[in-house]
């Protein structure tokens, strides 16, 4: 008896439970695949309608709109901000007297290789969280940084004032020129000569 005959004899007692057809198996797989593709298409259509509405909403505003909390004159304020792809922003909030206040700004950053790019959302938020100097109508001068309100009116000497501010995590050294701008540094007070 040859090996072929031995195999036939050994496996002849085995019977399949039904006729197995490769074509039938292929059709079952194709049907499952078609059902999955139909379900995926239905989900994609639903997402397109939902996402399309959000995209249209953002496109109407010119960018991505978010609600944020911002420190304005030492008070935490709810604000709406739109980040534009150009690196600019439009921001509005309700002032203490109930009027709508608006801020607009932004710009570009210059990389080490000299290329320009729009500011990121994080860079814009960092800018909005910087200290500000306010020259009031009554002649007083105030520095605002997060929840701090500091009257610096009488602290100018030869047209320069130095103020140290901190939010608990970050300490900044401000050099303020009377009616001439200000700069901040995390390391030291800047020389007034660096302003020119």
pLDDT of 70 over the 90 cut: no
Q: What is the reported pTM?
A: 0.59
47-56, 107-116, 163-172, range with the lowest pLDDT = 47-56
For the chain, the domains span 17-61, 62-119, 130-196
Q: Which residues contact 105 (CB under 8 A, 6 or more apart)?
A: 88, 89, 124, 127
Q: Are 68 and 129 in contact (CB under 8 A)?
A: no
- Residues of the chain with pLDDT > 70: what percent? 67
Q: What is the pLDDT of residue 143?
A: 94
pLDDT of 54 over the 70 cut: no
């Amino acid at each position: 008896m040859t090996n072929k005959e031995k195999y036939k004899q050994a496996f002849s007692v085995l019977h399949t439970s039904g006729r197995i057809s490769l074509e039938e198996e292929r059709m079952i797989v194709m049907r499952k695949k078609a059902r999955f593709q139909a379900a995926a298409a239905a989900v994609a259509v639903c997402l397109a309608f939902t996402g399309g509405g959000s995209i249209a909403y953002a496109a109407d505003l010119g960018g991505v709109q978010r609600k944020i909390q911002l420190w304005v004159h030492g008070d935490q304020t709810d604000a709406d901000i739109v980040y534009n792809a150009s690196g600019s922003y439009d921001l509005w909030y309700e002032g203490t007297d109930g009027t709508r206040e608006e801020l607009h700004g932004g710009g570009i950053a210059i990389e080490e290789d000299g290329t320009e790019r729009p500011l990121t959302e994080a860079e814009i938020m960092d800018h909005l969280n910087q200290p500000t100097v306010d020259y009031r109508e009554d002649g007083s001068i105030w520095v605002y940084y997060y929840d701090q309100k500091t009257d610096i009116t009488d602290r100018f000497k030869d047209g320069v004032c130095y103020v140290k501010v901190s939010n608990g995590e970050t300490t900044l050294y401000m050099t303020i020129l009377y009616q001439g701008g200000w700069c901040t540094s995390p390391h030291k007070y800047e020389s007034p000569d660096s302003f020119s």
